[in-house]
Amino acid sequence: MKKLIALLLSILMVLGVFAGCASQSAPAASTDKQEEDAAPAASEEAAAPAEESATEEAASSGDKVVKIGVFEPQSGDNGAGGKQEILGMQYANKMIPTVTIGGEEYKVELVYADNASSNDKAPTAAQTLISQGVSVVLGSYGSGVSMAGGDTFSAAQVPAIGVTCTNPQVTSDCDAYFRICFLDPFQGTVLANYAKNELKATKAYCLAKQGDDYSGGLANYFIKAFGEENCVYEQFPEGTSDFSTYITNAQQQGCDVFFSPVSLEAAAQIIAKAETQGLGMPILAGDTWDSNVVLEAAKGTSLNICVTTFYQEGVNAEFDSAIKEWINSDATAKTNNGGDDKLSAVTVMGYDVYCVALEAIKAADSTDPAAVLAALPGVTYEGITGTISFNDIGDANRDSAVVKKCNTESGNWDFVTVAKVG
């Protein structure tokens, strides 16, 4: 469907060119002029590395600039994950600061808007980026905010490329949204199979947050694959900070695996209570738990924590070494990474999504968002996390997930396996 939409957009753009040539009226302001008139600074400043970026220098010197929007949480429940995702984009921008459009070199400027991990605030953040004249948007960490911002991007025909927003509705309900990650039906099945086949679990406790599209959606896919009759499912309300009751319920119900694909903030609290109450069963979670926030919370505990994710540190030693050197060279970048240089998969995905956006801009040979949107379906990119291409819905053609386990002694992730379904 999206390939058909892209074709129609391309036809409309061609017709628009002919219409413009035939018109005797004054031409509309050029894209270049719009970019010069637009404010170069972001409305929401990300905690970026301290050194002045090449894009800031470009803005001050009058060089041609193409803007890429960063639609990520920098606050709220998923603020820590959003900042780690942004780091990958910032590193990519440092390494690849320009793109050739129409035979001319453009500086790439990242424009930020904090969606605050809030579905209510997401449309405003999306509109902020559109008003800044971005050619394409990256993000978000969190399916709910991605879905909440989707209508705004679609109405403006500004393409958005999700990084780790895994709920199927992100793309199925929005013609402007693409993404580079696997989906929750796949991830939920991988986790359920791992619980049954590797952990030998026969009864699962599942905990999600009320009203959260990501945790609720992934929990439902896990339950479907594991067997509803063998699952206990509970949801906690917004603002919950004490998970004692849920830990107790899992124990009393005779469960032998604890599945909770929740935010990093909730994850740290669950880990603390699981340790003090002697949970006594493995904990499984999805890609949100792939963070040094979880590693730090779990270090020194007796817990068995496994997650599914997109990348394992060490797969590409050259890339890993280079980005870790960059993180360590800047205090702000290191702070945004949780205070150390441990490499989260979401950061690597942030790098890849920036490169995919550049490929789309080059394919469009234009800064016009509609042209970039029309070009996206045909993009193929060999990324750090694998080959990235899109199906007719706008989802990445991914068929595998990395399973890794928290080493509570070293405070690192240990590789377990690469899992596929079918």
Angle 46-402-172 (CA atoms, 0-180°, nearest 5)? 65
DSSP state of 282: -
> Other C-beta atoms within 10 Å of 157: how many?
18
> Which residue has tokens 């219409």?
19
Residue 48: per-residue pLDDT: 56
Residue 141, domain member (yes or no): yes
Give strand pairing partners of 4: none
What is the token pair recorded at 223? Answer: 């339950």
Helix (H) or strand (E) holding 246: helix 244-252
Identify whether residues 165 and 247 lie together within a single domain: no
Question: Domain range spanning residue 304?
Answer: 184-309+402-419
Q: Identify the burial level of 291 via C-beta atoms within 10 angstroms of its C-beta, where 0-12 means exposed, 13-18 middle and 19 or more buried.
A: buried
CA-based angle 217:150:376, to the nearest 5?
Answer: 105
In this structure, what are the phi and psi dihedrals at residue 64, rounded to the nearest 5 degrees? -65, 140
DSSP per residue, 159-197: -EEESS---THHHHT-TTEEESS--HHHHHHHHHHHHHH
Do 43 and 110 contact (CB within 8 A), yes or no?
no
Name the amino acid, one letter, at 30. Answer: S
Same domain, 158 and 211: no
Reference 93, options 58, 117, 60; nearest CA is 58
Angstrom distance (rounded) from CA 152 to CA 31: 21
Q: Give the number of other CB atoms < 10 A from CB of residue 25.
A: 6
**Residue 122 placed within a domain:** yes
Is 395 inside a domain boundary? no
Quote the pLDDT of residue 63. 85
C-beta pairs of 97-105 under 8 Å, 24+ apart in sequence: 97/53, 97/54, 97/55, 98/54, 99/66, 99/358, 99/361, 99/362, 100/362, 101/64, 101/66, 101/361, 101/362, 101/365, 101/366, 101/367, 102/365, 102/366, 104/64, 105/64
Domain count, the chain: 2
For residue 216 the two structure tokens come to 């609720």
Tell me: do 79 and 178 sit in the same domain: yes
Residue labelled with tokens 């035979």: 103
Do residues 328 and 250 both lie within one domain? no
**Amino acid identity at 335:** T
Are 220 and 166 members of one domain? Answer: no
With a CB cutoff of 8 Å and minimum separation 6, the contacts of 259 are: 191, 195, 204, 205, 206, 207, 219, 222, 283, 284, 285
Q: pLDDT truncated to tens, each residue of the chain (422 aa)?
A: 565 555 444 444 433 433 333 333 332 333 333 333 333 334 344 555 544 444 455 555 568 999 999 999 999 999 999 999 999 999 999 999 999 999 999 999 999 999 999 999 999 999 999 999 999 999 999 999 999 999 999 999 999 999 999 999 999 999 999 999 999 999 999 999 999 999 999 999 999 999 999 999 999 999 999 999 999 999 999 999 999 999 999 999 999 999 999 999 999 999 999 999 999 999 999 999 999 999 999 999 999 999 999 999 999 999 999 999 999 999 999 999 999 999 999 999 999 999 999 999 999 999 999 999 999 999 999 999 999 999 999 999 999 999 999 999 999 999 999 999 86
Q: Are residues 384 and 265 part of one domain?
A: no
Residue 397, domain member (yes or no): no
Q: Are residues 163 and 76 in the same domain?
A: yes
User: Which CATH number characterizes residue 96's domain?
Assistant: 3.40.50.2300
Longest CA–CA separation in the chain, Å = 78
Sheet holding 177-179, edge to edge: 98-101, 104-114, 65-72, 136-138, 160-162, 177-179
Question: Which amino acid makes up residue 372?
Answer: V
Does one domain contain both 27 and 86?
Answer: yes
Question: Whose CA is closest to 307, among 419, 179, 139?
Answer: 419
Q: Does 289 reside within a domain?
A: yes
Asked whether the beta carbons of 179 and 376 are under 8 A apart, the reply is no
CA distance 407 to 412: 5
Look at the alpha carbons of 114, 71, 305, 383 in this order and tell me if their dihedral is positive or negative: negative
User: For residue 144, what are its two tokens?
Assistant: 């709910």
Alpha-carbon distances, residue 361 vs 111, 133, 280, 334, 382 (angstroms): 16, 14, 51, 30, 16
Q: By C-alpha distance, which of 189, 163, 196 is closest to 310?
A: 163
| Per-residue pLDDT tens over the stretch 104-142 | 999 999 999 999 999 999 999 999 999 999 999 999 999
Q: Are residues 77 and 88 in the same domain?
A: yes
**Separation CA 35–CA 59 (nearest Å):** 10
Residue 396 located in a structural domain: no
- Alpha carbon distance 351, 77 (integer Å): 22
Domain-embedded: residue 98 = yes
Claim to verify: residue 212 and residue 296 sit in the same structural domain: yes
Each residue's pLDDT tens digit, 37-81: 333 334 344 555 544 444 455 555 568 999 999 999 999 999 999
What's the pTM? Answer: 0.86
Same structural domain, 93 and 112: yes
In a domain, residue 127? The reply is: yes
Scan for tokens 């679609």, then name that residue.
Answer: 154
- 175 with 220, same domain: the answer is no
> Pseudo-torsion of CA 146, 148, 151, 152, nearest 10°?
-90
Beta-strand ranges (E) seen in 27-135 are 65-72, 98-101, 104-114
Q: pLDDT digit string (tens) for 248-263?
A: 999 999 999 999 999 9
